[in-house]
Chains A and B, each alone.
Chain A
Amino acid sequence: MINLAYRDIADGFGRYLATALGLGLLIGVTLTMAGVFRGMVDDGKALLRASRADIWVVQQDTLGPFAEPSSLPDEMRRGLLALPGVARAGNVAYLTMEVSDQGRSVRILLAGYEPGAGGGPEYLVAGRPILRPHYELVADERTGFALGDRIHIKRHDYTVVGLTRGLRSPAGDPVVFLPLKDAQQIQFLKDNDAIFREKRRLAGNPLFNPPSNPALLAAIEANQFANHRVNAVLVRVLPGYDAHAVAAEIERWLRLTAYTDEQMTTILIGQLIAMASRQIGLFLAILTLVSTAIIALTIYSMTQTKLKEIAVLKLIGTPNRLIAGMILQEALGLGFIGFIVGKLAVTYWAPLFPKHIVMLPCDTLSAAGVTLVICVLASLAGIRGALRVPPASAIGG
């Protein structure tokens, strides 16, 4: 038996392929939107995941350090280490800034951490971890920085020694790690002119600069121009201890707020990216609906334009089964090619997006399922129309 669907497709292959490509791009856009949505959620969690903290200790009654500003003295760390159940505590300081690299300006999240105490990158895709106490960076590859690049930040040049992959701030900016002390300094220091003015003001004040005691000015300067505050302390608990219980202890004894990792995730997803993700979620829903309508209409009108041929087929005695099979196969073919094209399109254009796009297999699968269902439903509507067309209509007019 001749495969009618195949012969029909082959006869008008250009048009069929163009239709499939169009549907494919539509599916691609929908998939991308789903990817952006997943990417936002994933970005929100990336830094938390990499930090591998059981407990986030922040300034009292804040949702810090990402959803709200949080600042606490760095010596709190010692107090934390003294509490039962605390295995490790590491100070971290975060600040978002714009830096330029070879004339290009990049928005990054600077993450200061104490190597060995936690809060640093989980693994590197190139280079080495930070080993020197100062002026070294481990940057996410999304920054576009290369190993050995020298990046000027505030008053110093930093060397990129390592690269990470997929590490973004909850806001989507690539993360750049550096030693905590450097981060504290950058956070605290103004530009050179401001420092110069400050120093001159101090030196001009006889109270701070008595001629009898030149060491006083140096001490005051050391205190003024050093920063002993951090944004959070990351705590790992000892095996056998419950993070919730330890967090409760921290809050009780140190007058700080402590979130378990999962609470922190909830804060980020719930507070920080809720608005944006609801926005995108709604957009995704509308886009899915529109795509569904367009795919359904395309398939339906594809059969409507073939009613004459279908009437001829009926006229010469082709059974309904074959006609329905032809329409269904053509619709499925369209869906199949469209889906492949859409998937390929996303794969190729996703890296071009500034934001992280995450294609979860379950999203891809459900998109395939939805496409299949749309194709079948639309072809059912087409089949209904085809089966109702009277054979005599082939010769009428």
Chain B
Amino acid sequence: MGSAAIRVENLSKTYGHGDSAVRALKRASLEVQPGEVVGLLGASGSGKTTLLQCIGAIIDPSGGRIRLDGKTVYDNGWKTTDRRALRRDHIGFIFQRPYLVPFLDALENVALLPMLQGRSDAKARRRALELLTRLGIADRATMRIEQLSGGQQQRVAIARALANRPPVILADEPTAPLDSHRALSVMSLLYEVARDFGTAIIVVTHDENIIPLFQRLYRLRDGVLREEAGEGRPIFPETRGV
């Protein structure tokens, strides 16, 4: 299908050289359609983070091809000159840990992205507040990052990933620091974003409560990627919203 939002072909990644080389990804291929939310499973060290960071233009793959929105961004070498702009405009990344900018408050951490895209301060802040409200932390908007709990920080990071309404969201265990109720509501938000904006989303998870939600799953085993059918259980209405 030519219209896939994410299309990865034979992607390889080897860390290091010679004897100490680690083949973290072995010719992985995957495809995610716009508006689709897929799960990525695998034991620790199987290469999930590596795959996400390659797609997210954070680390360099060793070979293969990546197409985002029908545009080839990597083909045995980066085809885009400004990977930072690619990250900013096309990819929302939710890391395993929040990685917020400590000297900005919660709202500014989110608003910075639309501002970097050239939106007005007022508009960027309005959008950031909207997202924080949906994530249930609007009352923490002007707080220093270090005053927020781990779960609150992670929700700020999620809001930041959504702030530029990117066509692709890569979430690396986004619900790990959250309790099961919050985890479900974050997943419900991701589904809403996928439905409303046609965003393609990959979610890495271990969470037994979340795995049944995916219609489609990928599993990594020692760098080898396989597709599996998921249960595709709908999220119950009472878990939606916060």
**Distance in angstroms between the alpha carbons of A358 and B87 in the assembled complex:** 57
* Partner pick for A394 among B88, B99, B104, B111, CB 8 A cutoff: B99
Q: Does A222 contact B (CB under 8 A)?
A: no
B22 within 8 A of A: no
**A310 to chain B: closest residue by CB:** B101
- Asked if B97 is at the interface of the complex by the 8 Å CB criterion, the answer is yes
Asked if A366 CB lies within 8 Å of chain B CBs, one says no
Contact B58 A317 (CB under 8 A): no
B29 contacts A by Cβ under 8 Å: no
Return the CB mask of B66-100 against A: 1 if under 8 Å, else 0: 00000000000000000011011100010111011
Number of A-B residue pairs, CB cutoff 8 Å, is 64
Q: Across the two chains, which residue of chain B brings its CB closest to A312? A: B99
Q: Check if B103 sits within 8 Å of A392, measured CB to CB.
A: no
Determine if A1 and B115 form an interchain contact, defined as CB atoms under 8 angstroms apart. yes
Q: How far is it, in angstroms, between the C-alpha of A314 and the C-alpha of B113 when the chains are bound?
A: 11
Within 8 A of B (CB), among A298-315: 309, 312-315
Q: Is A191 an interface residue (CB 8 A)?
A: no
Q: Is there contact, CB below 8 Å, between A392 and B85? A: no
Chain B residue numbers with a CB within 8 Å of A125 are: none
Tell me if A128 counts as interface (CB < 8 A to partner B).
no
| B contact residues around A318 at 8 Å (CB) | 84, 112, 116
Is the C-beta of B18 less than 8 angstroms from some C-beta in chain A?
no
- CA of A395 to CA of B93 in the docked complex: distance in angstroms? 12
Residue contact B104 to A391, C-beta cutoff 8 Å:
no
Decide yes or no whether B121 CB sits under 8 A from chain A.
Answer: yes
With beta carbons under 8 angstroms apart, the residue of B53, B88, B103, B121 that contacts A316 is B88
Q: Is residue B144 within 8 Å, beta carbon to beta carbon, of the partner chain?
A: yes
Contacts of A391 in B (CB 8 A): 58, 84, 87
Q: A317-B87, A317-B113, A391-B58 are in contact. Are A312 and B101 (CB under 8 A)?
A: yes
Tell me the bound Cα distance from A24 to B112 in angstroms. 33
Give bound CA distance, A307 to B131, whole Å. 28
Q: Which one of A5-13, A28-36, A156-164 is at the B interface?
A: A5-13
B59 lies within 8 A of chain A by Cβ:
yes
- Name the residue in B58, B113, B115 with the highest tally of chain A Cβ atoms < 10 Å from its Cβ: B58
Across the interface, do A316 and B112 meet the contact criterion of CB distance under 8 Å?
Answer: yes
Closest A residue to B98 by beta carbon equals A312
Interface size on A, as a range, is 20 to 34
Q: Which of A148-206 contact B (CB under 8 A)?
A: none
Determine the distance from Cα of A315 to Cα of B101 in the docked complex, in whole angstroms: 11
**Residue on B nearest A396 in the bound complex, by CB:** B59
Contacts of A395 in B (CB 8 A): 53, 58, 95-97, 99
> Cα distance A322–B116 when bound, in Å?
10
* Residues 227-285 of A at the B interface (beta carbon under 8 Å): none
A319: interface (CB < 8 Å): yes
CB contact under 8 A between A314 and B84, given known A1-B121, A7-B108: yes
Question: Complex formed: what's the CA distance from A319 to B102 in Å?
Answer: 18
**A residues in contact with B95, CB < 8 Å:** 395
Interface: A2 (CB within 8 A): yes
Check A392 against B100 for contact (C-beta < 8 Å): no
Q: Are A315 and B108 interface neighbours, CB within 8 A? A: no
A189→B156 CA distance, assembly (Å): 90
Query: Which residues of A have CB within 8 Å of B121?
Result: 1-2
Contact assessment for A315 and B100 in the assembled complex, using a CB-CB cutoff below 8 Å: no
Contacts of A322 in B (CB 8 A): 116
Distance A315 CA – B87 CA, assembled complex (angstroms): 7
- Assembly CA distance A395 to B87 (angstroms): 15
Given A391-B84, A392-B53, residue A315 in contact with residue B99 (CB < 8 A): yes
Hey, which chain B residues are within 8 Å of A314, CB to CB? 84
Q: How far is the CB of B121 from chain A (nearest CB, A)?
A: 7
- Give min CB distance, B139 to chain A, whole Å: 21
Knowing that A4-B103, A318-B112 touch, tell me 10 more A-B residue pairs with CB under 8 angstroms: A1-B115, A11-B103, A312-B99, A312-B100, A316-B112, A317-B84, A317-B89, A317-B116, A392-B59, A395-B58
Q: Which residues of B contact A (CB under 8 A)?
A: 53, 58-59, 84-85, 87-89, 93, 95-97, 99-104, 108, 111-113, 115-116, 121, 144, 160
Question: Shortest 3 CB-CB distances between A and B: which pairs?
Answer: A317-B88, A11-B103, A8-B103
Residues of A at the B interface (CB closer than 8 Å) are 1-2, 4, 7-8, 10-12, 309, 312-319, 322, 391-392, 394-395
18 A-B pairs with C-beta separation under 8 A = A1-B115, A1-B121, A2-B111, A4-B103, A7-B104, A312-B99, A315-B87, A315-B93, A316-B112, A316-B116, A317-B84, A317-B113, A317-B116, A391-B84, A392-B58, A394-B99, A395-B58, A395-B95
